[in-house]
Structure 1
Amino acid sequence: MQISYFHTSEHVPLISPPADGGPDAAVVIDVLRATTTIAWALQNGAEAIQAFASLQELEAAAEAWPAEARLRAGERGGERVAGYDLGNSPLAVTPALVGGKRIFMSTTNGTRSLAAVREVPLLLTACLPNRTAVARLLLERGCQRVWVVGSGWEGDYSLEDSLAAGALASALCELAVAPHGQVQFTNDEMLAALALWQQWRQDPETCLRVASHGQRLMGLGDHDSDLACCSAVDTLQVVPMQAEPGVLRAS
């Protein structure tokens, strides 16, 4: 397996078919907090997550869905969009609230990364809680070229997404024994992400707290529980997978 890391959607190359050297799988990461929230929402019984880069597109799609079976989740600048049912907290997507419902979601960064790789044959989302489950699925599917895409913050690098990319790479290396073969890193960004994980693997929550976005969230209010949830490693088995363009369901 060849694996590359792009730390924001802006760095993702133009996508070509796998036969022409493009990826046969992509994994989107937004540790704080979109992909963590997506994983927990599906774990807690949401029917699907439908992701949108813009609030306008979200509103139009949500209006066409039965009111009793939908929730709107909107986040900008780390805070919930006024009037929406949810923001972007993994703690808010409780079974009682999201069970059986479709969540129409738009966030500052993560949903842009999902849009950037929407055409890849296999599209997954990862976070620290499900990193080993994602690694296992990639190997079971026999993926040969994988792009890991971070979400950053408004186009800039984010420490926590690279930490999770390194955590995923580490899990792949641990699991990739025969018949799966070896994992090869195809760019320096992936090697750097792995080194970052090796530095912080014993204390990922502190890494999230010192990261600029962790600092931003703490400046907005009490997000201690969110930070603890987002930094918990291998607590989930659910793997969000794109079932149709823009729609994620539990694999």
Structure 2
Amino acid sequence: MKSVLLAIQFLTRLPTPQVQATERDFARSMRWFPAVGLIIGALVAGGAWLGAQLDGWVAALAAVAVWVGVTGALHLDGLADLADGYGAAHKDRARLLAVMADPHVGSFGVVAIVLQLLAKLVLVHALIAAGDVFPALILLPFAARIGPLVWTLWLPPLHAGLGARFVEHVRVSHIVGWSVALAAGAIVVPAILLAVPLIALWGVWLRRTLGGVSGDCHGAGIELVETGLLLAVLALRHL
């Protein structure tokens, strides 16, 4: 129970009971990231449903606003840092990592955030117009948060930061268990199975470009997988 609460505290801004925890307890919480994704997805779907009582665009805006609000823009921050680093120094790995470590957001980061929010807004609206969007909104954040478990097990940490804390506490069995849950969810939303190649592609890009993974890389990957899955769900509905 402690690990679940710590995962909720880390990935969201939801109110939770205060718990005494060690760094080891915090690291162990990563195995529950996909479960927190279900909570986030349920809230996003709820926001979309409320907004849909007025208008499709209001529903899309409400969904995206809840998405950002409940996560505290945590993953958008990682996307911005990675975009700044890659945009400023994509051919110089050392420089890229140095720019990523800078707490200030540059022009590349701002553009990445704006494009990401616009992409989610447009895709959620398109799904609402297509009908029956709510199961997809519940399951997509869950599917995307399987990614950090895979990347942690697969890739070396770039530095002794957030990403390095989880390495010793992620097991293949955790990924297998959540993969079974993903397959079960695909009965309702088949397109979420595309999370598997999307997660793999992000891991390949990180290995080739950075040689490892960090907290920012996890956050950016979650954002991009979520958007990729929104596009996949929409494309499948049109086939």
TM-score (norm 1): 0.31
Higher relative contact order at CA 8 Å, sep ≥6: structure 1 or structure 2?
A: 1
Q: Which has the higher strand share?
A: 1
